[in-house]
Amino acid sequence: MGSVRRPTWRQFLPFLLLNVVVSAAVVLLVLFVFDRGDVLPSSVPTPTFDVARRLESAKPTPAPTVPPSPTPVTYTVQPGDTLGAISAKLDIPIENLMAANGLANPDALSAGQVLTLPSSDDPPPPTPQPPGVIITATPEGLPQVIIRGAYEREDLEQEFVYLENIGGVAVMAGWSLYDGEGNTFTFPGFTLYRGGGVNVYSRAGNNSVINLYWGMDEPLWVPGKVITLLDNTGKVHSTFGVPEG
């Protein structure tokens, strides 16, 4: 029989070297891959923001400016003042003064009282309409309107009759003044309070709460005439004889 020849180590040497080379290559490849995974890419952009825009948006929104309310102008009533005199002095319609101060009676003033003066831009209050029902009695008692006198006589521009109420509130719509010679003045929607007075001028003009106008074109009150005040029922409340001089 023939003998079997065993391989020598020299025959295995190439295979061992090849195995060593392959193993080393694998190890180097693994190390290379892991080493690149730990390195941050140099191309990652740095985040930026607009500082000016951030600061602008952080500013608080200013609140709207509210203009201050105008300080009201006032007038302090002096001893002897009347609403009519104040109206003439300040060139403010008496109706506007009453409306601005909530006054119902133009004669209810007292020294030291502070009046608010309305602006010249304020519209005048509406003209009161004559009431449908005439009231002659009030809780204060019956009205007692009397003729105090006729003044500045025979001067059409200045001539007037002065009436005063010393009783309860008088709603005088429909009342009348008669001169005894066919001339009659009929009161419009008008209220005269206790202690209040009203001037009835002979000439034409614009009525107010203290001045009424008859609308005549010549003086009325000559000596000897008798002035008669009647209410809306025809009842005589007062008479006055125009004196001499």
Which pTM does this prediction carry? 0.47
DSSP states along 135-188: ---BTTB---EEEEEEESTT-TTT-EEEEEE-SS-EE-TT-EEE-SSS-EEE--
Report the pLDDT value the prediction gives residue 91, as an integer from 0 to 100.
82
CB 160 within 8 A of CB 201: yes
pLDDT (0 to 100) of residue 135: 43
What residues have CB less than 8 Å from 243, skipping those under 6 apart?
223
Q: For the chain, which residues score pLDDT lower than 50?
A: 39-40, 127-139
What's the whole-number average pLDDT of the chain?
78
Question: Considering only CA atoms, which of 117, 73, 74, 70 is closest in space to residue 96?
Answer: 117
Listed residue (160, 169, 234) closest to 198, CA to CA: 160
Residue 10: its pLDDT value, please? 66
Nearest residue to 239 via CA among 180, 185, 171: 180
pLDDT at residue 24 in the model: 74
Say what the pLDDT of residue 140 is.
60
Q: Please state, as a whole number, how many other Cβ atoms lie within 10 Å of the Cβ of residue 146.
A: 16
Q: Which domains does the chain have, with CATH numbers?
A: 73-117 (3.10.350.10), 145-241 (2.60.40.1260)
Q: In what order do the strands lie in the sheet with 145-151?
A: 145-151, 160-165, 197-201, 211-213
183 CB neighbour count, 10 Å cutoff: 13
